[in-house]
Amino acid sequence: MKIEIGADFPQYFKPSYPEEFELFHHFEVTAGIPAVLFAVTTWKENGQPNVCFHAWSSFHGDKAAFFAVIGNLYQHTHTYKNIQRDKCFGINFLPISYYDKLVDTIHHNDLEKDEFEVGGFTLCDGKAVHAPMIEEAFVSLECTLKDIFDLSGAGITAMIIGQVQHISVEKEYAQGYEKRYGKDGFMMLVPAPQDLVTGMPNQSAIATVNIEKYD
């Protein structure tokens, strides 16, 4: 038997915090699809470096180009405005040991704040784009803006498509699987899976990748 959830909000769903279903669609916690976590880095209009801890994205391309497709970026944020203005951004992958430092940048993100200083990150300049990059990241992508879409048309969030122009990889992560996958590798967001029987919420979880099989 399958539980069927439609586009109308299930009235028996209970939020885990008051504004949850103002910020997120109920399908997010219905599906609970994991996504890789990373830091988007840009310059604020006053020249301070900005960090946006993010997920809800994918990375893919074809023979001609490789793209970072950032979903669900709120249009009221510094990051959205910075990308619109400067037409570029950085993507920085850090291990789970940096989770708390990245969360600190969410809580201290005023225009005047140097968010690299807040998180204790070392700033380095992009090699191909004018964006601040996190030296501690084990993989970094430098992107130019290709397109912006307001998918829902509600003026709330946007999907940002960046074309990757340069990638930096720490040497110890450059061979094999051991470092990139596991506690020192990619960090994943598991969106709080709603109890689809009772409607009660669960906590979101932070995970790492465990390889089960080689193809």
Residue pair 27/15 in contact (Cβ under 8 Å)? The answer is no
| 34-207: CATH, from 1.10.3720.10, 3.40.50.1980, 3.30.70.250, 2.30.110.10 | 2.30.110.10
Q: Left, alpha or beta for 131 (phi > 0: left; psi -120 to 50: alpha)?
A: beta
Place of tokens 């976590």: 37
Q: What percent of the chain is modeled with pLDDT above 70?
A: 100
DSSP state, 14?
A: P
pLDDT, residue 203, reads 95
What confidence tier does 204 reach under pLDDT thresholds 50, 70, 90?
Answer: very high
What confidence tier does 88 reach under pLDDT thresholds 50, 70, 90?
Answer: very high
Residue pair 67/163 in contact (Cβ under 8 Å)? The answer is yes
Average pLDDT over residues 177-196: 96
What confidence tier does 169 reach under pLDDT thresholds 50, 70, 90?
Answer: very high
Instruction: Give the integer Cα–Cα distance in Å for 25 and 47.
Output: 34
pLDDT, residue 31, reads 97
pLDDT, residue 70, reads 97
Domain residue limits, the chain: 34-207
Nearest to 179 by CA among 189, 169, 164: 169
